Structure 1
Amino acid sequence: MSAILGPIHHWLFRKIKIQNDLTNAVIAAAKEKELNVALLADIDEKFGSLPEGDLGNIIDPTNIHGWLQDKIAIVERRLAYVTKTLTKDNPDAIGVICDCARAFGVKNAVESNAAPTEGFEYYENTFVSGMPCDGVNMIVNEDSDEIMWQETVDIHKQYWDEVGADVSLFYEIRNAMIEGVFENSDLAYYNLGNGLYKLVKE
C-alpha cells in the first residue's frame, strides 16, 4: 500500500474511533449501573488502546495498512473483553450493554430523511467491517424504497474467539446500535438472519 494517507484511511480510522467510543460508553454505563468494572482495569495492558491525535501524526507512514489493521484488532478485542467480563457472572449485563449501544446509536443517528441507499452508506461509514479490501458487505437488492445487503464473511469472530468471548453477543450489541442509528429516521431496519439485512423506506 502507498505510504500516502488518503481519504479512505481517515474514513476507516473514524470508524475505528466510533467503535472505541462505544466500548468506552459501555464501560461508563456499566459503572453507572454498579456492575463489576474493576476487572476491566487491565484492559489497556492486555489489548492496547487507541492513540490520540490527528491520524497523520500518529500513523506509521511506512506501514499504513498494517497500522490500521492493528487498530481494528484493538477495538474489536476491547469490546469483546468488556462484554465477556461484564457478562461472565452476570448474564443479564448484556441488557445493560445493548441499552447503551442503542442509546449510542441514537446519538450517532442517520439523517431522519435519508433514503435507503443513503442509510446503507451511513451504515458503511459508521460500523467497522474489517478493512475495505475485505469487501464484507455486498448489496443484493436495491431500489428507491429498499436496500438489502449480505455480510459475506464473519469478520469479527476471530477477535472474539481470541478473547474467549461469544461472538453472538457482538451481533446483539451491534444490532442494538443499528436500531438506535435508524430509530428516528424514515427507514425501517430489518435483521433477516444469516448475515442478511435491509433498510426499507417507511
Structure 2
Amino acid sequence: MSAILGPIHHWLFRKIKIQNDLTNVLIATAKDKGLNVSALADIDEKFGSLPEGDLGNIIDPTNIHGWLQDKIAIVERRLAYVAKNLTEGNADAIGIICESARAFGKENAIGSGASPVDGFEYYENIFVSGMPCDGVNMIVNEDSDELMWQETVDIHKQYWDEVGANVALFYEIRNAMIEGVFDGSGLTYYALGNGSYKLVRE
C-alpha cells in the first residue's frame, strides 16, 4: 500500500465508514425495537469512534497504513460489542439485527443488471476485508453466469475474540446485509461454508 495518500486509501476508508454506519443503524434499530442498549453506553470509551471529515484532513500522513488499520480495528470491535451485548440473553435479538442489516444492504444495493464480476467488485467496494495487502478474497472460479471466491483467512475473528463475542454472529449479520445488497440485482448470493461464497446469475 502506498505511503502517499491516494485513491486506494479513500476506497478503504469508505468501506470502513460503511461498516461504522451499519453498526450505528443496528444500535438505532435496537432502541426502536426496545432491546436493552444500556450496555452500549460505554462503547466510545472502550473502543473509540470513527473521526468525521475528509480523509485528507483527518488521517496521519506519516502513518497512513497504521492509521487505517487502527480504524478497521475500531469498527470491527464496535460491531462485535454491539452484536454481543444485544444478543446476550435475548434469543429474538439476532433476528431483529439481521432484518436491520438486510434493510441497510438494500439501501446500498447494487441495482439490476449486474454480472457476477460486477457483483464481486461491488462486494469488494462495500465490505471491510482487512487491509488490501491481506489479500483475503481470492476468486477461484469465474464465468459469465457464476463467480466463486474463497476467504483465505478469517480476518474478523481476532476482533470478535478480543470482545468476547462469537464471530458466527458477524457472518449472520454480514450475510443478511449481502442479501440486501443483491436484492433485485438479478444475482443470487450463496454462502457455501468454510469461507466459500458465490454469486450466480438468476
The equivalent residue for 2:178 is: 178
Structure 2 partner of 1:147? 147
Q: Which runs of 5+ in 2 are unaligned?
A: none
Name the structure 2 match of 1:111.
Answer: 111
| Deviation string, structure 1 residues 67-124 (Cα, Å, up to 9, x no partner) | 0000000000000000111111213211111000000000000121111100000000
Q: Which amino acid aligns with 1:192?
A: L
Residue aligning to 1:62? 62
Counterparts of 1:191 and 1:166, CA distance in 2: 18
Tell me the residue number matched to 1:191. 191
Q: Deviations over 1:98-151 (max 9, x none)?
A: 000000000000121111100000000000000000000000000111100000
Name segments (4+ residues, structure 1) moved above 6 Å: none
After the TM superposition, which residues 153-168 of structure 1 pair with which residues of structure 2 at under 5 Å, given as runs? 153-168=153-168
Partner of 1:147: helix, strand, or coil? strand
TM-score w.r.t. the length of structure 1 is: 0.98
Normalized against structure 2, the TM-score is what? 0.98
One-letter amino acid of the structure 1 residue matched with residue 92 of structure 2: D
Whole-Å separation in 2 of the counterparts to 1:148 and 1:128: 18
My pick for the range that moved more, 32-41 or 62-71, is 32-41
Per-residue Cα deviation, 1:129-188 (whole angstroms, up to 9, x for no partner): 000000000000001111000000000000000000000000000000000000111101
- The alpha carbon displacement at 1:2 in A equals 4.4
- What is the alpha-carbon root mean square deviation over aligned residues? 0.8
3-state SS of the aligned residue for 2:24? helix
Q: Tell me how far apart the structure 2 counterparts of residues 82 and 2 of structure 1 sit (CA, whole Å).
A: 33
Question: What is the total number of aligned residue pairs between the two structures?
Answer: 202
**1:78-157 map, 5 Å:** 78-157=78-157
Secondary structure in structure 1 of the residue aligned to 2:109: coil
For structure 1, the 5+ residue unaligned runs are none
Instruction: Measure the CA separation in 2 of the matches of 1:111 and 1:10.
Output: 23
Report the Cα distance in structure 2 between the residues aligned to 1:144 and 1:2, rounded to whole angstroms.
33
Q: Which amino acid aligns with 1:11?
A: W
Does the residue aligned with 1:41 lie in a helix, a strand or coil?
Answer: helix
